[in-house]
Chain A
C-alpha cells in the first residue's frame, strides 16, 4: 500500500508557503494552473475588417480546424488601434450563429412554407427567371424613339456590407443585361 505523502497535504503546503489561509497557489486546481487563452491554440490568425459601420476597424480572426475560435480587434490598425464597438465585438456571434440558414430555400407562389432546394437548381431557376422577365419586357426604344436597350421589369437592391468586387461584378452584369433599376443602401 502506498502511503500518502503528507507533505503534499494542503495544510503543510500552506504552512510551508506562508499562505496560511490558502487563498492563493495552494488552492489552485490543475485546470487553473494549466489554463491558457484559447487563441493560443489557433492554427491561423487571419486579418479582417469589421463588417458593420464604415469606420473600418481591423479584426483578427483566430481559426482552428476550420472553425472560428475568436474575433477581436487588430491592434495594428491605425484606424481602430485594436478597439471594437459592441457590434464589432459581437461579430463572432454574427458568423457562428445557429440561426444562420445554410440551405437555399424556395417558396412557391401562394405556398405557406419554405422548401429546401439545391443551390445549383436555384441558380438555374433564377437565371431562367431573369431571362424570361428580360425577354418579355425588353425596351429597345422609348416612345420618343430614343434607344434605351433595357428592361424595367427587373430591379436590384443591395446592401453595403458586401465587397467592392461584388458591387463591381453585379453592376457590370446588370448593365450587360439592360437592368437599370440598380440601387444600394448608399441611397437609403
Chain B
C-alpha cells in the first residue's frame, strides 16, 4: 500500500519544525545564512539540503470565515512522490527507484550526478548538491518507514498540518476535511494533486495538499506535467512521423520514377 503525506495548510502555523526535524533525522547541512526579506521565509525553496520547506505568503485579504483583516498563508512543501515521477523516469542510471511504500527514493550510492532528474521534475524539487553533484530530495523517510516509524516531519508537526499514512486513507481524510471547511464557510479550500483525475500530468501525488488559494500563490505549478508522461505519445508520434516520412519518401520515389518513366 503506498504511503504519503497529506499537508493541510489551513492548520500550518509556520513553525518550521518539519524543516528542522527533517534536517536532524537526515543530518543535512544548512543552506547558508541569508536574510531574504520574503516574510519569514529564509530558506526559500526545496533543495539538495532542504527537503521540507515552509512558504509564507502574506495576503491583504482574510480567509473567509476569519476576522483577521489579513491572512498569512503558510504551507510546508515537500517532494510529491508523484504516481508518475519525472525524476524517476528520467534517471538513466537506475539510481532512482520506487520503493515498496510507493515513494520515490534516490539511491546515493548509485547516483552519478548526471542531473537528468532535475529537468524531469515539474515541481523543481530534486536538486544536485553543490559539493558532490549528486541529486538529493525527500526520501519519505524510507529508512524510518522500514522500521515502521512515521517520517520525521510528520511526527514533529505540532498541529497535524502534515499527516502521514496510507495514501487512500489520507485522501478520504482530506476530502472530509475539505467538506468540513466548506461547511465552516472556507469555500476556497480544495485539494491539490490528490488524484490523477485532477492532476493528469503527474498521475496524482502521494504527497498532496489542501490549499485555499491558487497553486501559484504557494509556489506550486497550476498544471504540472512530468515530461515523460507524454513519452508513449511521443514515441507514437515519432513512429507515425517515421512511417509518414518513409511513406512520403517512398511515394515521392514512386512518383519520381513514374514521372521519369512517363518522360
Q: Which residues of A are in contact with B by a Cβ distance under 8 Å?
A: 10, 21-29, 31-32, 35-40, 70-73, 75, 80, 82-90, 92-93
Interface string of B58-97 (1 = CB under 8 A from A): 0000000000000000000000000000001100001111
20 new A-B pairs (CB below 8 Å) besides A28-B107, A37-B149, A90-B20?
A21-B89, A23-B89, A24-B99, A27-B107, A28-B97, A29-B107, A32-B105, A35-B146, A37-B143, A37-B147, A38-B143, A72-B21, A72-B25, A83-B158, A84-B158, A85-B156, A86-B17, A86-B21, A89-B20, A89-B24
Query: Do B156 and A27 have beta carbons less than 8 Å apart?
Result: no
Asked if B212 is at the interface of the complex by the 8 Å CB criterion, the answer is no
B191 at the interface (CB under 8 A from A): no
| Size range of the chain B interface in the assembly | 20 to 34
Closest residue of chain B to A38 (Cβ to Cβ) is: B143
Contact in complex: B146, A37 (CB < 8 Å): yes
> Which of these, A26, A36, A38, A88, contacts B17 with CB under 8 Å?
A88
* Chain B residues at the A interface, C-beta cutoff of 8 Å: 15-17, 19-21, 24-25, 88-89, 94-100, 105, 107, 109-110, 142-144, 146-147, 149, 152, 155-158
Task: Sample 19 A-B pairs with CB under 8 A, ordered by A number.
Answer: A23-B88, A29-B109, A36-B146, A37-B146, A39-B147, A72-B21, A72-B25, A72-B152, A73-B156, A83-B17, A83-B155, A84-B17, A86-B15, A88-B156, A89-B21, A89-B152, A89-B156, A90-B24, A93-B24
Q: Would you call B15 and A35 a contact (CB within 8 A)?
A: no
Shortest C-beta distance, B92 to chain A (Å), equals 11
A17 to chain B, nearest CB (A): 13
Q: Is the CB of A23 within 8 A of B98?
A: yes
Residues on B with beta carbons closer than 8 Å to the beta carbon of A88: 17, 156
Least distance between A76 CB and chain B CB atoms (Å): 13
Closest to A87 in B: B20
How far, in whole Å, are A93 and B24 apart by their CA atoms in the complex? 8
The residue from B94, B144, B158 contacting A22, defined by CB atoms under 8 A apart: B94
Beyond A32-B105, A88-B17, whether A24 also contacts B98 by CB under 8 A is: yes
* Chain A nearest CB, measured from B257 CB (Å): 43
- Is B107 a contact partner of A40 (Cβ separation < 8 A)? no
